């Protein structure tokens, strides 16, 4: 009977990942998840905080702008009242001198005039519109009853470029005995008010609109500007309270709109106009974006450090185990590898001694 030859079984090929690869992969995935867990709540909190800050800034800007415009309107209103008090006992020539002087004073007034009780303009700046019947004009009818800030009107001509928008303010002219003798009015230039609002808004870093009670823009930062207020903003106009909202435009950009109801907050009568300011998209969201970029740079640097330390860890602790595993496989296949000893960790040291003892028994 022939002697049977004993063949040692071969170690099957393994398809499991290497321990070093698993450790590095685990560290990197854990690091990425950790980065997301850190970045997301901080980013959301930063955006919410920036929204609150920008909203407060918009509201304060709208109120500051309203205060500046109100002071300018109040100066014109006090001038109107002062002149009305003086012309009650003046002749037409003296009244005309006042009307001519106020137009030349600062460029705010386009025209000034006095209408008598018959509804006819008796005196006008440089003689303009004298003899014109204005009994149906709102500024005249309302001015007979008391101080009045009129609605926007237009003095359009045949030429489109000659169109001039004005805001009429009026007060009754009373005799020393308290009897009404007529209505004195200023036609304020809308162009002056627009330039004043734009200059003040530029100083505050805002885009400003003046709107009526229906939320329609009287004028804005440019000729083509439009603003459509939401029902909540329209409600704030009627309630005379300030509000701010985030409104998304047609291009998907988010803008912050703040409403400051009623231009006149001093001694001037109600104007029925309001200031709306807009924080442009270029300003809103920039702080949170910059913070996100800085966070990503820091967190990715941290991830890179984790990767470097993971590589160093595997080289110092895992590679000896991988080498000892290879020696064990060679011994199992009948080879006589050189016994190496590793002292990088207690486990690798014990495994080295164990393989040396196993090798000394068989060989």
**Considering the entire predicted model, what is its pTM?**
0.66
**Strand order of the sheet with strand 165-174?**
121-124, 109-116, 180-189, 165-174, 148-154
Of the candidates 307, 308, 362, the one whose C-alpha atom is nearest the C-alpha of residue 330 is 362
Structure tokens at 12: 């099957």
Is residue 197 within 8 Å of residue 208, measured between CB atoms?
A: yes
Separation of alpha carbons 305 and 27, rounded Å: 11
Q: CA 79: distance to chain centroid?
A: 38
Per-residue pLDDT of the chain (363 residues; tens, 9 = 90+): 444 444 445 555 556 677 777 777 888 888 888 888 888 888 788 888 878 888 888 888 899 999 988 898 899 999 999 999 999 888 999 999 999 999 988 789 999 999 999 999 999 999 999 999 999 998 999 999 999 987 677 654 334 444 578 889 999 999 888 899 999 999 999 889 889 999 988 888 888 888 887 777 788 776 555 666 666 666 666 556 778 887 776 777 777 888 888 888 877 788 888 888 887 766 556 666 777 778 788 888 888 888 888 888 888 877 887 787 777 777 777 777 766 777 677 777 777 778 777 777 666
Separation of alpha carbons 98 and 107, rounded Å: 15
Residue 117: phi, psi to the nearest 5?
A: -70, -15
Separation of alpha carbons 356 and 349, rounded Å: 11
Is residue 236 within 8 Å of residue 259, measured between CB atoms?
A: yes
């Amino acid at each position: 009977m022939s002697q049977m030859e004993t063949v040692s079984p071969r170690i099957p090929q393994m398809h499991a990942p290497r321990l070093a690869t698993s450790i590095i992969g685990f560290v990197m995935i854990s690091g990425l998840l950790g980065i997301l867990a850190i970045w997301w709540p901080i980013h959301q909190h930063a955006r919410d905080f920036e929204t609150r800050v920008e909203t407060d800034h918009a509201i304060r800007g709208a109120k500051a702008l309203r205060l500046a415009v109100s002071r300018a309107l109040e100066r014109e209103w006090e001038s109107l009242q002062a002149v009305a008090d003086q012309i009650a006992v003046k002749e037409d020539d003296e009244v005309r001198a006042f009307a001519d002087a106020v137009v030349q004073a600062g460029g705010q007034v386009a025209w000034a005039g006095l209408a008598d009780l018959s509804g006819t303009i008796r005196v006008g700046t440089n003689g303009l519109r004298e003899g014109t019947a204005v009994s149906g004009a709102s500024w005249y009818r309302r001015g007979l009853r008391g101080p009045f800030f009129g609605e926007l009107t237009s003095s359009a001509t045949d030429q489109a470029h000659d169109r001039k928008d004005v805001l009429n303010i009026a007060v009754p002219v009373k005799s020393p005995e308290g009897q009404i003798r007529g209505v004195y009015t200023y036609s304020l230039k809308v162009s002056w008010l627009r330039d004043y609002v734009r200059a003040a808004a530029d100083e505050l870093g805002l885009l400003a609109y003046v709107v009526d009670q229906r939320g329609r823009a009287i004028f804005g930062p440019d000729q083509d500007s439009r603003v459509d207020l939401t029902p909540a903003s329209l409600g704030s106009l009627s309630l005379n309270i300030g509000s701010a909202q985030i409104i998304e435009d047609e291009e998907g950009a988010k803008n912050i709109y703040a409403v400051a109801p009623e231009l006149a907050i001093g001694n001037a009568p109600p104007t029925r106009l309001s200031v709306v300011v807009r924080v442009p998209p270029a300003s809103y969201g920039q702080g949170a974006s910059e913070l996100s970029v800085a966070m990503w740079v820091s967190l990715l640097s941290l991830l890179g450090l984790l990767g470097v330390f993971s590589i160093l860890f595997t080289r110092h602790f895992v590679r000896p185990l991988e080498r000892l595993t290879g020696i064990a496989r060679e011994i199992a296949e009948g080879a006589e590898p050189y016994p190496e000893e590793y002292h990088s960790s207690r486990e690798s040291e014990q495994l080295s001694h164990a393989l040396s003892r196993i090798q000394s028994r068989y060989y």
